[in-house]
Amino acid sequence: SSDRGIYNFAAGPATLPESVLLKAQSELYNYRGSGMSIMEMSHRGKEFDAVIKKAESDLRSLLSISDDFAVLFLQGGATTQFSAVPLNLCMPEDSADYIVTGSWSVRALKEAQKFCKPNVIWSGKSEKYTRICSFDEIPQTLGAKYLHICGNETVQGVEFKDFPNPMNKSSILVADMSSNFCSKPVDISKFGVIYAGAQKNVGPSGVTIVIIRRDLLGHAQPITPVTLDYRAHADTDSLYNTPPCFAIYICSLVFECLLHQGGLEAMAKKNEKKAGKSELEKKFIEEAAKEGMVQLKGHLSVGGVRASIYNAMPLAGVEKLVAFMKDFQARHP
Ligand code: PLP
């Protein structure tokens, strides 16, 4: 439990491991005897060089990222990647496929429309973005340079559980993994590009992680600003310009912490258990509604379940609810 007395359920920037915060606090003023804070050091000095190298190698271990991929620590948030992806992977006249599963893929699509010719090959809009599609049900466009998906739609809460194997060389899978990055093991070899803002699972805001297959580097549109050109960052190990040093340092502590906890297999198990608990809550509310007990969902701000027993609620209503709760508990020990 938290020593700070609260549980912070923010969607991002989100809660960080206590041990990471305490370690950062202890090193904040004088980083490992250097006489400087990590915030005060040159990004080209030996201390920071060790930090960014360790961050990269720990992330490579966590996700088993092969050397066929470059790992970049960039600025501008996942939102910047909505433009960087089309700028780096296609020319203005090229097409790219987009699967639209919620608010974030809508935003990605809108940016892509400025830099290439995206096709929406599946949209969950008519179903209010309540489900994810299966890759089998959607034919990809011949010649499309890549297929973009949002791995987990943070607002609507729909997540891709499986990813297709690359079907042919022109279909490069690109995923925005901002809200499920490092929450479970992922087969990186299925992707061309993965990007994620750090501020949910792996660090503070200010750093965006991009994992890109090296053969996709060096094909950016001529108008691409250098800060969005993946090759400029890959050629310089993310030091083309000043990187977000402190944010990368915190990420490196989080990666170390995740490795100590058993890596992403262990994280996936913990996260499944947590998700299982909230699934059960949903089921409770649904089954109660079938039995004629409604409006039990807790306030939006706190979630959970809430039974209001104002003056007009008869005793029989409460007795029925208690009996249902006992029965539900017995069925879900
Ligand atoms: N994509 C997803 C899935 C997100 O959850 C978010 C932010 O919450 C973004 C993109 C935008 O990220 P940023 O604010 O880092 O630009």
- In tens, the pLDDT along 170-221 reads 579 999 999 999 999 999 999 999 999 999 999 999 999 999 999 999 999 9
What 3-state DSSP class applies to 70?
A: strand
Answer yes or no: 122 catalytic.
no
| Nearest-angstrom CA–CA distance, 297 and 19 | 34
- For 22, 274, 312, 314, 325, the CA distances from 319, given in Å and listed in that order, are 48, 30, 14, 9, 10
Could you tell which of 101, 105, 154 is best to mutate to test the pocket of ligand 1, judged by most ligand atoms within 8 Å of the CB? Answer: 154
Assess whether 104 carries a catalytic annotation.
Answer: yes
Which of 200, 235, 260 lies at the terminal end of a domain, its last residue?
260
Do 290 and 186 share a structural domain? no
Show the domain range for 237.
Answer: 22-260
User: 3-state DSSP helix/strand/coil percent for the chain, to nearest 5?
Assistant: 45, 15, 45
Gap from CA of 29 to ligand 1 centroid (Å)? 31
Mutate to test the pocket of ligand 1, among 178, 182, 201 (most ligand atoms within 8 A of CB): 178
Q: Of 205, 231, 260, which closes a domain?
A: 260
Let me know whether 301 and 211 are in one domain. Answer: no
In a domain, 237, yes or no: yes
* Domains in the chain, number: 2
Structure tokens at 235: 């050629």
Residues 158 and 290 in one domain: no
**ipTM of the modeled complex:** 0.99
Instruction: Say whether both 284 and 169 belong to one domain.
Output: no
- pLDDT for residue 1: 46
Phi, psi (deg, nearest 5) at residue 152: -145, 120
In this structure, the residue with its CA closest to atom 4 of ligand 1 is: 178
CB count within 10 Å of CB 14 equals 17
Looking up residue 298, the CATH number of its domain turns out to be 3.90.1150.10
Ligand 1 atom with minimal separation from the 150 CA? 3
Tell me, what's the pLDDT at 171?
Answer: 76
Q: Establish if 141 belongs to a structural domain.
A: yes
- Please report, for the domain that includes residue 254, its CATH number: 3.40.640.10
The answer to whether residues 85 and 221 belong to one domain is yes
Output the CA torsion sign for 270, 275, 278, 279.
negative
From 235, 260, 285, give the residue that closes a domain: 260
Residues with a CB atom less than 6 Å from ligand 1: 12, 77-79, 104, 150, 154, 176, 178-179, 197
Q: For residue 97, is it within any domain?
A: yes
H-type alpha helices, 151-244: 230-235
**Can you give the pLDDT at residue 303?**
65
Closest ligand 1 atom to residue 197 Cα is 15
Q: What pTM does this model have?
A: 0.88
Answer yes or no: is 267 within a domain: no
Q: Give residue 109 CA to ligand 1 midpoint distance, Å.
A: 14
Query: Is residue 9 in some structural domain?
Result: no
Looking up tokens 């039974």 gives 307
Residues 69 and 186 in one domain: yes
Contact 166, 173 (CB under 8 A): yes
Q: Are strands 193-197 and 172-176 parallel, antiparallel or unpaired?
A: parallel
The alpha carbon of 312 and the centre of ligand 1 are apart by a number of angstroms equal to: 45
Which letter does DSSP use for residue 189 in this model? G
Query: Rounded to whole angstroms, how far apart are CA atoms 201 and 195?
Result: 13
Round to whole Å and give the CA distance between 93 and 76: 26
Determine, yes or no, domain membership for 221: yes
Q: Which residues of the chain have pLDDT under 50?
A: 1, 168-169
Q: Which one from 104, 122, 145, 229 is the annotated catalytic residue? A: 104
- Name the residue at shortest CA distance from atom 3 of ligand 1: 178
Q: Are residues 191 and 64 in the same domain?
A: yes
Q: Which atom of ligand 1 lies nearest, measured to the CA of 208? A: 15
In tens, the pLDDT along 123-134 reads 999 999 999 998
